[in-house]
């Protein structure tokens, strides 16, 4: 979370940037965050940029007896964000159909069904899917 302080500083745009973009700039030997004003800027253009300050997180000074630094303020993740993983399709594929997930991963990495990088990777996921189906059928027959 961040907010502008109301102060501005003259900055030369490092590249063409859209309005609202923030970046670190060095002013008088101090690194500060600045925000691009409405309308954006072009590379090399000098503009008055509002100074952006962090308001949610702050780093306390180091304790002389300890090298630990604790962040104070907002948490990085919400209380129940650990369950966000459960809404991911790849999570369920690796839990229930791990061989198909391996095939998909190998195909995306352009590897064959043996995990070797070569030109015959187009059917890697299909090979692993057929392998999984065969193993499931064998397991059902033997039960």
User: Model-level pTM?
Assistant: 0.42
Element (H, E) at 127: helix 124-142
Which of these, 37, 10, 32, lies nearest to 21 by C-alpha position?
37
- pLDDT, tens digit, 9 for 90 and up, residues 71-100: 556 666 778 887 887 888 888 888 888 999
pLDDT at 29: 78
Would the pLDDT of 64 be above 80?
Answer: no
Sequence-separated (6 or more) residues with CB below 8 Å from residue 68: 62
pLDDT at 73: 62
Q: If DSSP codes are grouped into helix, strand and coil, which group holds residue 36?
A: coil
Spatial separation of the C-alpha atoms in residues 111 and 107, rounded to whole Å: 6
């Amino acid at each position: 979370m961040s907010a502008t302080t109301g102060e501005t500083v003259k900055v030369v745009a490092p590249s063409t940037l859209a309005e609202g973009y923030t970046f670190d700039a060095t002013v008088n030997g101090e690194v500060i965050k600045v925000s691009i004003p409405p309308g954006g800027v072009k590379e090399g253009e000098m503009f008055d940029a509002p100074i952006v300050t962090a308001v949610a997180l702050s780093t306390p000074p180091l304790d002389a007896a300890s090298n630990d630094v604790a962040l104070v303020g907002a948490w990085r993740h919400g209380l129940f964000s650990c369950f966000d993983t459960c809404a991911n399709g790849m999570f369920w594929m690796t839990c229930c159909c791990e061989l198909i997930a391996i095939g998909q991963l190998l195909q995306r990495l352009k590897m064959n069904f043996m995990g070797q990088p070569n030109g015959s990777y187009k059917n890697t996921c299909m090979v692993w899917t057929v392998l999984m189906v065969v193993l499931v059928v064998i397991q059902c027959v033997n039960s």
